[in-house]
Amino acid sequence: MANNHIPVFKNEKFGRLTVISLSKGAANGEHVLYKCVCDCGKILDVAASQLRRKVRTSCGCKRDEDIKVLGLKSRKQLTNSDLFGDYQVIKDLGTNKNRKAIYQVKCKCGHLTTMTGCRLRDGLKLNCYHV
């Protein structure tokens, strides 16, 4: 099998990630992993292909900052009193088979149903049709 690995160099910067070294467990299937440090200080292993294609540019701290700046709520912040359209969050049900956060919600008429957190936050069809 041909080696089509594009090298990544020490101290090379990809967004908020700076390459420290080749990871000790460097082979993850066919992916070469590099140990990187994020600007926030977190250290993580990232595939060279994710760095080169700019798929991974931070440890996740950038997304968290963007959520705060936009005033959006992350999964951890949805609580029982949160209102989204006609619906109020009642209970966190964990995740579904697609690893999406799901919640039990109650509409203003009293009807109970379940919705994903992204549907609630994005405001997708949040009008109750049971009235």
Q: Contact at 8 Å (CB) between 9 and 43?
A: no
Residues 6+ apart with CB under 8 A from 94: 101, 102
Residue 76: predicted pLDDT: 56
Strand intervals (E) in the chain: 13-14, 17-28, 31-38, 43-47, 83-84, 87-95, 101-107, 112-116
Q: How much is the average pLDDT of 33-57? A: 89
Mean of per-residue pLDDT scores for the chain: 79
Comparing 5-9, 15-19, 85-89, 114-118, which segment has the lowest mean pLDDT?
Answer: 5-9
The encoded tokens of residue 119 equal 């549907």
pLDDT in tens, 65-123: 776 666 555 555 677 778 888 888 898 888 787 778 888 999 888 889 888 888 887 77
Res 2: pLDDT: 44
* 26, pLDDT greater than 60: no
- Residue 7: closest CA among 24, 30, 32, 28: 32
- pLDDT value of residue 117: 84
pLDDT at 83: 83
Q: What is the pLDDT of residue 11?
A: 93
**Residue 14: band (very low, low, confident or very high) from pLDDT cuts 50, 70, 90:** very high
Residue 20 has pLDDT above 90, yes or no: yes
